[in-house]
């Protein structure tokens, strides 16, 4: 109460300045809402009603049971992993600053070390959950990766995380050293710009890729890219079959680095050419509707308030200019990420639905789309109709049932 | 606290005795390898017999709890003879050794009489030997390492002992003397070898000590222009040890970038020193800072020091500190041919690099288990890095003093050689274990 009273007294002492601050906050909020509205726009017809699809009409009872069981384990494992993550980060936020004695690196260097050690501790805490997931996927034939290989791979990828964290803290703490409490106002746009750069260069960061060698598929890519209005977009293949049997694809970059990346598990003969075309058209749909750029936009919208909240919560330890504030900053940032994950999933699902719609418009092949979604579920043992809580928390794609329903909706529209 | 004041480990019961005067006969050195042929044959035959004796000794020690006196004496004779022979072969001693390992050779070994040994360590002696084996391989070299099978083969030919012998051979032919640093480097390797084989052959249950400060008697105190100030307290954070290689990544990237500029500066420095007879002040300072930072990072990476280093190589900020003396006049001939002159030192850097790598691997496990770096391992790593720092300083034209190849007595770092980057009493380390204005606990140079 005394804090609130002190804040009120400060407002009362400088009414003009407070009014200006409120007005500025209001304008910023308005701009935020307008930007979010622009990013929210979708080419999927507004108010389109998806017909009800009974999963039992598409999948066998045994598959529905086994996929539900398969996915339940993974989702619970993920949930427990997230709980462990929050607990470990909370403990680290409380006591992590004690590790400052392990540094002789000055203000920013010590902050970088604490940031890296925070993720190191997280990695250790996540090891059992990751190994459990590997065990489960191996048991069901989805993953071929050994336990040690999985551990080593995740350990090595931690090196990349360390570099990213170091760079992020270097920028943030350097700005905080100059701008003090207002570092976030500059840091958020800088990180958005870095995310934009990273999106542009992401195609070069994907390992084990090579150009698409199958000429018929390459011709389909060229044809579909023309239809979707992004002629000249190329497709690469990523070799993943040593690690997994699950099929997948992704779209990366923008402008001259725009690329569709197909996993080699998608081209191993389990899916026919028409089904692969649907996948390609879906990924091209992402690129045609600028989803990689939109993701950067959403990130920027998230970063601005998130950085402001980090700045607020780290004030108690002298602000993010001081290394002892880093463990708290990590905690706040990761918790905010977890809390906003359901919202980001909504955004992601909306983009995926738009890409599906785009693929249907480009291929005019609802039969192949329906078959593809069914086979995708079978190949990756995805639960076609997951429970709501898991859908809200973790699903960043529409469910298989929803995707098939969209196919039927598209078919119904074009039947008339 | 008393133990902390000295950097050397307590004495190992298997001790090297050294009465060598460094004088060498050029003729016997030139033909040293050929002269050693009879000893090669004899040591192989004696070695086969000793192998059988060791096997019997293992059973006897396991049953009795101590090595039988007769067997102990026979095997100890072999170890002594092997050390005499290798000292001769690797130019650490001059006289032709006798074939019976009798005492009195300039490089000799003192092996204690049989003592009680714990049966458990006797039972698992072969397994317990493995870490020490790694060190003995990098110190004494592994002549058989080229014998790979199948499509792959290893071509490791390093090792400190063959390295110093190779360089010593040329030095002796030129000067008629074995350089002290090279001789002491060889003595260090021989001392560790003696302790290793004594442990392997069950002559003692004391584990070999890799500490170079405890290995060689009467080490010199030196005041080199590039020297080491080590104020590490051996404590290690298990968390940072586990992730040490990954934590060093930002530093390694920064070091690469800094290294590009440093290379350009070193080339400029070469021209400037050749012309003016000494380094320009600015370049000297910049390259000294680079050298300091480089060894902050490397000592952190290889677990020779504990705290996460800073990114600017600030003087006095780290417990493993390379001190560089103020610029001095340098011989233009030495400057002109610096790259060629540095080649022998770089060969030895290769041998020492293998040592510091093994130290890091073993130290990683040990530090994770105990939260401390073993003193012997830390000092071995510090010796290797000190030599590396001196060689790099020589190459960067920070000094024209040639790197000193052997261990140096502790205490040299307390000497007041004017150094451009010594912290002032008020400056002090920025948060390292040394604390502000801390006196260096020990020094290896």
Q: What is the pLDDT of residues A366-376, one digit of tens each?
A: 999 999 999 98
- For the beta carbon of residue A38, count every other beta carbon within 10 angstroms: 10
Helix (H) or strand (E) segment spanning residue B425? none
Q: What is residue B425's predicted lDDT score, i.e. its pLDDT?
A: 34
Question: Could you report the per-residue pLDDT of A394-410, keeping only the tens digit for each?
Answer: 999 999 999 999 999 99
| Average confidence (pLDDT) over B127-153 | 71
Question: Could you report the per-residue pLDDT of B179-212, keeping only the tens digit for each?
Answer: 999 999 999 999 999 999 999 999 999 999 999 9
Nearest residue in A to B240, CA atom: A117
- For the beta carbon of residue A292, count every other beta carbon within 10 angstroms: 23
* A chain contacts of residue B242, beta-carbon cutoff 8 Å: 120
Q: Rg (Cα) of chain A, in Å, rounded?
A: 24
CB B384 within 8 A of CB B355: yes
Query: Would you say residue A11 has pLDDT above 80?
Result: no
| Average confidence (pLDDT) over B169-184 | 95
CA of B431 vs chain A CAs: smallest distance (Å): 5
Rounded-to-integer distance, Cα B250 and Cα B226, Å:
26
Q: What is residue B247's predicted lDDT score, i.e. its pLDDT?
A: 96
| Average confidence (pLDDT) over B40-48 | 95
* A chain contacts of residue B318, beta-carbon cutoff 8 Å: 104
CB B15 within 8 A of CB B109: yes
Query: Would you say residue B432 has pLDDT above 60?
Result: no
* B chain contacts of residue A167, beta-carbon cutoff 8 Å: 250
Question: Could you report the per-residue pLDDT of A258-300, keeping only the tens digit for each?
Answer: 999 999 999 988 899 999 999 999 999 999 999 999 999 999 9
Nearest residue in A to B434, CA atom: A104
**What is the residue-wise DSSP string for B173-216?**
HHHSB--HHHHHHHHHHHHHHHHHHHHHTTS--SPP---HHHHS
Q: For residue B8, what pLDDT band results from cuts at 50, 70 and 90? A: low
SS3 readout for chain A: CHHHHHHHHHHHHCHHHHHHHHHHHHHHHHHHHHHHHHHHCCCCCCCCCCCCCCHHHHCCHHHHHHHHHHHHHHHHHHHHHHHHHHHHHHHHHHHHHHHHHHEECHHHHHHHHHHHHHHHHHHHHHHHHHHHHHHHHHHCCCECCCHHHHHHHHHHHHHHHHHHHHHHHHHHHHHHHHHHHHHHHHHHHHHHHHHHHHHHHHHHHCCCEEECCCHHHHHHHHHHHHHCCCCCCEEEEECCCCCECCCCEEEECCHHHCEEEEEHHHCCCCCCHHHHHHHHHHHHHHHHCCHHHHHHHHHHHHHHHHHHHHHHHCHHHCCCCCHHHHHHHHHHHHHHHHHHHHHHHHHHHHHHHHHHHHHHHHHCCHHHHHHHHHHHHHHHCCCCCCCHHHHHHHCCCCCHHHHHHHHHHHHHHHHC
* B chain contacts of residue A120, beta-carbon cutoff 8 Å: 239, 242-243, 246-247
Query: Parallel, antiparallel, or unpaired: how do β-strands B308-309 and B320-324 relate?
Result: unpaired
Hey, are the CB atoms on A112 and B318 less than 8 Å from each other?
Answer: no
Distance of CA B301 to the CA centre of its chain: 17
CA of A170 vs chain B CAs: smallest distance (Å): 11
> Can you tell me the ipTM of this complex?
0.81
Query: If interface means Cβ-Cβ distance under 8 Å, which residues of chain B face chain A?
Result: 237, 239-240, 242-243, 246-247, 249-250, 253, 306-312, 314, 317-319, 429-432
Q: For residue A93, what pLDDT band results from cuts at 50, 70 and 90? A: very high
Rounded-to-integer distance, Cα A167 and Cα B311, Å:
13
Task: Give whole-number Cα distances, A332 to A173, A343, B224, in Å.
Answer: 16, 17, 51
Question: Could you report the per-residue pLDDT of A23-36, keeping only the tens digit for each?
Answer: 988 998 999 999 99
Q: For residue B428, what pLDDT band results from cuts at 50, 70 and 90? A: very low
Q: For residue A416, what pLDDT band results from cuts at 50, 70 and 90? A: low
Q: What is residue B120's predicted lDDT score, i.e. its pLDDT?
A: 94
Where helices occur in B278-325 by DSSP H, the ranges are 281-301
Nearest residue in A to B317, CA atom: A104
Q: What is residue B145's predicted lDDT score, i.e. its pLDDT?
A: 44
| Average confidence (pLDDT) over A318-344 | 93
- For the beta carbon of residue B270, count every other beta carbon within 10 angstroms: 19
Query: Would you say residue B433 has pLDDT above 60?
Result: no
Which of B255, B294, B246 is CA-nearest to residue B395?
B294
Question: Could you report the per-residue pLDDT of A118-155, keeping only the tens digit for each?
Answer: 999 999 999 999 999 999 999 988 888 889 999 999 99
User: Could you tell me which residues are beta bridge partners of residue A236?
Assistant: A211, A261
Q: What is residue B7's predicted lDDT score, i.e. its pLDDT?
A: 56
Q: What is residue B230's predicted lDDT score, i.e. its pLDDT?
A: 92
Rounded-to-integer distance, Cα B20 and Cα B157, Å:
27
Query: Would you say residue A3 has pLDDT above 70?
Result: no
Q: What is residue B218's predicted lDDT score, i.e. its pLDDT?
A: 86
Domains of chain B: which residue ranges? 15-214, 226-414
A105 touches chain B (CB under 8 A): yes
Rounded-to-integer distance, Cα A291 and Cα B235, Å:
51
Residue B308 is nearest to which of A109, A120, A155, comparing CB atoms?
A: A109
Q: What is residue A8's predicted lDDT score, i.e. its pLDDT?
A: 76
Which residue of A95, A100, A105 is the best one to mutate when testing the B interface, meaning the one whose CB has the most B CBs within 10 A?
A: A105
Rounded-to-integer distance, Cα B118 and Cα B243, Å:
35
More confident residue, B149 or A410: A410
Hey, are the CB atoms on A109 and B310 less than 8 Å from each other?
Answer: yes
Query: Would you say residue B166 has pLDDT above 60?
Result: yes
Query: Would you say residue A77 has pLDDT above 90?
Result: yes
Q: What is residue A260's predicted lDDT score, i.e. its pLDDT?
A: 95
- For the beta carbon of residue B97, count every other beta carbon within 10 angstroms: 23
Helix (H) or strand (E) segment spanning residue B16? strand B15-18
A165 touches chain B (CB under 8 A): no
């Amino acid at each position: 109460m005394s804090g609130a009273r002190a804040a009120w007294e400060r407002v009362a002492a400088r009414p003009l300045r407070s009014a200006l601050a409120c007005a500025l906050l209001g304008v910023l909020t308005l701009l935020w809402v307008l930007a979010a509205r622009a990013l929210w726009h979708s080419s999927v017809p507004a108010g389109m009603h998806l017909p009800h699809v009974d999963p039992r009409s598409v999948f066998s009872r045994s598959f529905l049971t086994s996929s539900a069981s398969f996915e339940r384990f993974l989702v619970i494992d993920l949930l427990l992993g997230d709980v462990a993550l929050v607990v470990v980060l909370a403990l680290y936020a409380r006591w992590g600053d004690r590790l400052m004695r392990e540094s002789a690196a000055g203000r920013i260097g010590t902050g970088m070390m604490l940031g890296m050690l925070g993720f190191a501790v997280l990695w250790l805490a996540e090891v059992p959950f990751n190994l459990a997931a590997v065990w489960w996927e191996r048991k069901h034939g989805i993953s071929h990766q050994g336990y040690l290989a999985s551990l080593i791979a995740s350990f090595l990828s931690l090196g990349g995380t360390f570099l990213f964290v170091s760079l992020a803290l270097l920028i943030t703490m350097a700005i905080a050293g100059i701008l003090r409490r207002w570092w976030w106002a500059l840091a958020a746009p800088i990180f958005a710009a870095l995310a934009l750069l990273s999106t542009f260069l992401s195609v070069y960061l994907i390992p084990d890729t090579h150009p698409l060698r199958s000429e018929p598929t390459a011709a389909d890519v060229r044809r579909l890219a023309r239809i979707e209005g992004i002629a000249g977009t190329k497709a690469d293949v990523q070799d993943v079959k040593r690690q997994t049997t699950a099929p997948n694809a992704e779209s990366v970059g923008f402008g001259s680095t725009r690329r569709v990346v197909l996993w080699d598990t998608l081209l191993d003969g389990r899916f026919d050419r028409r089904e692969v075309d649907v996948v390609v058209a879906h990924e091209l749909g992402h690129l045609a509707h600028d989803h990689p750029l939109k993701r950067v936009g959403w990130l920027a919208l998230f970063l601005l308030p998130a950085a402001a909240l980090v700045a607020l919560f780290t004030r108690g330890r002298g602000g993010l200019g001081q290394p002892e504030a880093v463990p708290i900053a990590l905690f706040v940032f990761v918790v905010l990420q977890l809390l906003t994950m359901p919202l980001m999933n909504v955004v992601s699902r909306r983009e995926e639905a738009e890409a599906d719609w785009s693929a249907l418009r480009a291929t005019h092949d609802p039969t192949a789309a329906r078959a593809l979604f069914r086979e995708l579920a079978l190949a990756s043992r995805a639960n076609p109709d997951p429970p709501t809580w898991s859908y809200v928390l973790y699903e960043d794609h529409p469910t298989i049932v929803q995707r098939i329903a969209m196919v039927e909706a598209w078919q119904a529209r074009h039947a008339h | 606290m008393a133990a902390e004041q000295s950097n050397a480990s307590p004495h190992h019961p298997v001790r090297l005795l050294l009465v060598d005067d460094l004088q060498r006969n050029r003729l016997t050195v030139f033909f040293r390898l050929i002269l050693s042929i009879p000893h090669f044959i004899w040591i192989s035959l004696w070695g086969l017999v000793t192998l059988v004796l060791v096997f019997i000794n293992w059973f006897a020690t396991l049953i009795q709890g101590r090595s039988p006196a007769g067997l102990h004496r026979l095997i100890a004779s072999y170890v002594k003879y092997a050390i005499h022979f290798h000292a001769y072969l690797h130019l650490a001693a001059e006289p032709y050794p006798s074939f019976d390992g009798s005492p009195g050779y300039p490089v000799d070994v003192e092996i204690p009489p049989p003592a009680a040994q714990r049966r458990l360590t006797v039972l698992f002696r072969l397994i317990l030997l493995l870490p020490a084996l790694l060190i003995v391989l990098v110190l004494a070299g592994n002549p058989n390492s080229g014998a790979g099978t199948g499509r792959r083969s290893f071509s490791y030919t390093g090792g400190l002992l063959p390295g110093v012998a190779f360089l010593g051979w040329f030095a002796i032919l030129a000067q008629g003397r074995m350089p002290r640093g090279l001789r002491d480097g060889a003595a260090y390797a021989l001392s560790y070898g003696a302790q290793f084989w004594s442990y392997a052959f069950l002559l003692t249950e004391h584990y070999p000590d890799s500490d170079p400060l405890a290995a060689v008697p009467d080490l010199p105190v030196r005041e080199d222009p590039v020297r080491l100030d080590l104020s590490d307290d051996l404590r290690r954070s298990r968390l940072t040890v586990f992730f040490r290689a990954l934590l060093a990544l930002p530093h390694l990237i920064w070091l690469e970038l800094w290294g590009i500029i440093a290379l350009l500066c070193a080339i400029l420095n070469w021209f400037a020193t050749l012309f003016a007879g000494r380094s320009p002040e600015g370049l000297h300072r910049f390259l000294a800072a680079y050298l300091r930072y480089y060894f902050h990072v490397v000592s952190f990476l290889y677990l020779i020091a504990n705290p996460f280093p800073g990114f600017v190589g600030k003087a006095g900020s780290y417990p493993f500190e390379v001190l560089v003396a103020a610029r001095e006049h340098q011989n233009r001939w030495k400057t002109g041919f610096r790259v060629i002159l540095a080649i022998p030192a770089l060969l030895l850097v290769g041998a020492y690099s293998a040592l510091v790598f093994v130290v890091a691997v073993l130290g990683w496990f040990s530090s994770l288990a105990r939260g401390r770096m073993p003193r012997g391992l830390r000092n071995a790593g510090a010796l290797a890095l000190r030599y590396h720092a001196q060689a790099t300083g020589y190459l960067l034209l920070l000094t024209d003093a040639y790197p000193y190849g052997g261990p140096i007595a502790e205490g040299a770092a307390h000497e007041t050689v004017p150094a451009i980057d010594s912290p002032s009493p008020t400056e002090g380390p920025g948060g390292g274990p040394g604390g502000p204005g801390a006196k260096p606990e020990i020094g290896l140079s």
